[in-house]
Homo-oligomer: A and B are copies of this chain.
Amino acid sequence: MLNPIGDDAAVWQPSRSHRSVVTTDALVENVHFRRDTMTLADAGWRAMVSNLSDLAAMGARPVLSTVALGVSPQTGDDDILDLYRGITAAASAYACEIAGGDLTRSPALAISITAIGEVRPARVKGRGGARAGDIAAVTGRLGASRAGLHLADHPNAIDGKLQEEAFQAHRRPRPRIAEGMWLAASEHVHAMMDVSDGLSTDLSRMCARSNCAAQIEAVPAAQSAQAMAQQRGESADEYALAGGEDYELLVAVSPRAFEHLSSRFAKRFGTPLFAVGRFREGSGLFARKGEREEPLTPTGWDHFA
């Protein structure tokens, strides 16, 4: 469907029954990734995945992408090849064609990707559809990516299978494309977004867009996050609430449909939907502390903190 790379722009024909979806995300060395915690191939993979995850959040099937690379004077040819290797590995793993791009000099290594997908019009959920009473749920346990980040400085803090889980989550996160398409097809899912900046931050964004509040009741921390938090005397909940870059999907689900949807989801994808709380009238986030309920301040990634 694409004409060969080399013209001024790439051309494609969106299917007639679908809407096109576009998203863009940039990664900059020493801001979003450090070479001492991952290879450039990993950084390339992550740059592509952060875009694919946005498509997943829209329930979209990836179609194509463009890649703009800013190459610093310290970047060698092998580095660029490594970076591309990671970018193309992620793109091909999720059937997203790379249609073109731009390569330029830059003081810092920077990867800016734009990805385009397709979704049936009726399936677009967005962030604004959560209703009071809906269950807030995520597609997987959270916090493993942050555990993987800490592993760079404390390589022996956890080991074996948990180390592998944390490294994998940090270096080769998986966008929930199939999960997003599946959830988008359900009329019981009222809102959907990806958890890229930490559950507390992203859930509060969904609340703000949906004009409602949410109460967090349970936080499904990944095993590696639990182990790492214990090692460092920290709270595993905090890893899951603030960690970010787990790329699970956050959904608002009709309460009467939740149990059935979650068990169908588990049958299809091997893990259930994890209920993390409930939407309600009002605004803001709340968490139960024992018997009491306290306001919760979003603690995730703020791009300009």
Contacts and interface: CB of A to CB of B under 8 A. Distances in A.
Contacts of A24: 66-68, 100-102, 112, 114
Contacts of A3: 124, 126
A7 interface: yes
Interface in A1-42: 3, 6-14, 16, 19-28, 30-32
Interface residues of A, number: 61
A13 B15 CA distance: 10
A268 interface: no
Contacts of A57: 7-9
Given A6-B209, A8-B193, A31 B104 contact: yes
Contact of A22 (B30, B99, B193): B99
B9 A55 contact: yes
Copies in the complex: 2
Interface stretch (A115-123, A233-241, A277-285): A115-123
A303 B9 contact: no
A158 interface: no
Contact of A9 (B9, B58, B112): B58
A64 B114 CA distance: 13
A114 B22 contact: yes
A288 to B, nearest CB: 29
Interface of A: 3, 6-14, 16, 19-28, 30-32, 53-55, 57-58, 60, 64, 66-68, 70, 99-108, 110, 112, 114, 116-117, 119, 121, 124, 126-128, 193-194, 209, 303-304
